[in-house]
Amino acid sequence: MATTSVLDEMKRLADYLDPITSAWVKTSCGSIPAYLSMNHAAYVYKFVFPSDVRAKMNPHISYMIQVELERMSNQGASSSPKLRSPGDSSHDVLPPYTETLLNKLQDHVTRTYLQTASLANPSYAFHDEGHSERIIDYLNQLTSLHQLTHRLSSVEHFLVMAGAWTHDIGFAQSSARGVHHEQARDIVFTDDSIRAYLDNNETAIEVVARLAYNHSSKVDVISIEDWRPMVELVRGQTGVVRVKHLSCLLRLADALDIDHRRTIRNPVLFKKLRSDNPASYAYHLCHQRIQSVRVNPQSRQIDVQALVRTKTDKDRIKRFINERLKLRREVKTLVPHLWSCIPDLKDELNLDIQCTTLAPALPASIVTEEFLNGKARVQAVDAVSGESASEGKSSTSAHQFDTCAYYETGLHQLRNRVKQDHPRYSEFLVYQQRLTENIGHSRRYGDTEARKAERSEMIDHLNELSLSVLGMPFTDLCGSSTPTTGQEPSERLRGN
Q: What is the C-alpha separation between 214 and 268, in angstroms, rounded?
A: 37
The piece of 29-37, 57-65, 297-305, 349-357 that touches other proteins (CB under 8 A) is 29-37
Does residue 441 touch other proteins according to CB under 8 A? no
Least distance to other proteins from the beta carbon of 349, Å? 34
| Shorter beta-carbon distance to other proteins: residue 1 or 36 | 36
Total of residues contacting other proteins (CB under 8 A) = 29
Q: In this chain, which of 15, 16, 21, 300 binds other proteins, going by CB under 8 A?
A: 21
| Closest C-alpha to 132, from 78, 173, 197 | 78
Does residue 405 touch other proteins according to CB under 8 A? no
Contact 152, 93 (CB under 8 A): no
Q: What are phi and psi of 301, to 5 degrees?
A: -135, 160
Burial class (CB in 10 A: 0-12, 13-18, 19+), 488: buried
Instruction: Give ∠ CA 431-429-425 in degrees, rounded to 5.
Output: 115
| Shorter beta-carbon distance to other proteins: residue 301 or 432 | 432
Least distance to other proteins from the beta carbon of 352, Å? 33
Q: In this chain, which of 4, 12, 16, 27 binds other proteins, going by CB under 8 A?
A: 27
The piece of 43-51, 59-67, 243-251, 460-468 that touches other proteins (CB under 8 A) is 43-51
The piece of 46-54, 174-182, 275-283, 413-421 that touches other proteins (CB under 8 A) is 46-54
- Sketch the per residue contact string, 66 through 105, with other proteins: x for CB under 8 A, - otherwise: ------x--xxx----------------------x--x--
| Shorter beta-carbon distance to other proteins: residue 76 or 86 | 76
| Shorter beta-carbon distance to other proteins: residue 47 or 148 | 47
| Shorter beta-carbon distance to other proteins: residue 247 or 432 | 432
275's CB contacts (< 8 A; 6+ apart) are none
Does residue 383 touch other proteins according to CB under 8 A? no
Does residue 425 touch other proteins according to CB under 8 A? no
| Shorter beta-carbon distance to other proteins: residue 25 or 205 | 25
Does residue 201 touch other proteins according to CB under 8 A? no
Q: In this chain, which of 1, 36, 376, 470 binds other proteins, going by CB under 8 A?
A: 36
Does residue 318 touch other proteins according to CB under 8 A? no
Q: In this chain, which of 20, 222, 279, 372 binds other proteins, going by CB under 8 A?
A: 20
Q: In this chain, which of 1, 5, 8, 24 binds other proteins, going by CB under 8 A?
A: 24
The piece of 30-38, 137-145, 182-190, 320-328 that touches other proteins (CB under 8 A) is 30-38
| Shorter beta-carbon distance to other proteins: residue 286 or 458 | 458
Does residue 46 touch other proteins according to CB under 8 A? yes
Q: In this chain, which of 1, 11, 35, 425 binds other proteins, going by CB under 8 A?
A: 35
The piece of 45-53, 286-294, 298-306, 384-392 that touches other proteins (CB under 8 A) is 45-53
Q: How many CA atoms lie within 13 A of 266 on its CB side?
A: 20
Does residue 31 touch other proteins according to CB under 8 A? yes
| Shorter beta-carbon distance to other proteins: residue 143 or 432 | 432
Torsion of CA 429, 431, 435, 437, to 10 degrees: 60
Q: What is the C-alpha separation between 349 and 328, in angstroms, rounded?
A: 7
- Which parts of this chain interact with other proteins (CB under 8 A)? 20-21, 24, 27-28, 31-36, 39-40, 42-43, 46-48, 72, 75-77, 100, 103, 107, 111-112, 430, 433
